Chain A
Amino acid sequence: DVKVTQSSRYLVKRTGEKVFLECVQDMDHENMFWYRQDPGLGLRLIYFSYDVKMKEKGDIPEGYSVSREKKERFSLILESASTNQTSMYLCASSSPPAGAGELFFGEGSRLTVL
């Protein structure tokens, strides 16, 4: 089974703090994604990565950055957390479509910014 692990299930941070959300997958997937989930808004793509050291902006990248130094690890960084970044953050991975396309999600990291 594919396993996508997010380092923290629950975090509470203060406005202005730097926040790191870590995600690790164990299936050698090329693609990794960060989504934000808010009630009534569905899953919105923040950033994704096709390969090590590359990244692409999604639909809502403002206020976020990412890092992918190793294939299995994809980090989401909030340089200066703000209250409107309080949300559930979901990491996912997938392989290129050799007949596939399924996203495998982590358990999620619920971030509260005070």
Chain B
Amino acid sequence: GENVEQHPSTLSVQEGDSAVIKCTYSDSASNYFPWYKQELGKRPQLIIDIRSNVGEKKDQRIAVTLNKTAKHFSLHITETQPEDSAVYFCAASITSGGSYIPTFGRGTSLIVHP
């Protein structure tokens, strides 16, 4: 099955700095790569995603890049703010039975210091 490695497990930055979280995956059939943010005590929520036919996608301060050859993808957050503090999960999804089945990384705890 798919295996997703996520690094770092903890990331501490000062407000205004950039943060980068990296993930690698093993199954070349994976074709959909979402990122979820989970604030303390809350449910995970999708913040950005990218499909295998795209190399980069941006949404305001958040961007995701994908290198299919190397099987890695990254989340970039610029101008970090204290409200960005959360656990971030990457996932790599294969299509099975017409649906995306994601395998998640272990998560990165991002701490943004004011």
Name A's B-contacting residues (CB within 8 A): 30-31, 35, 40-45, 48, 50, 56, 59, 90, 94, 96-97, 101-103, 105-108
Contacts and interface: CB of A to CB of B under 8 A. Distances in A.
Interface in B55-107: 89, 93, 95-107
B99 A96 contact: yes
Given A101-B34, A105-B43, A42 B107 contact: yes
B43 A50 contact: no
Interface of B: 1, 6, 9, 32, 34, 36, 42-46, 49, 89, 93, 95-107
Given A101-B32, A101-B93, A90 B44 contact: yes
A92 to B, nearest CB: 8
Contact of A42 (B32, B34, B105): B105
B43 A97 contact: no
Given A43-B104, A102-B34, A30 B46 contact: no
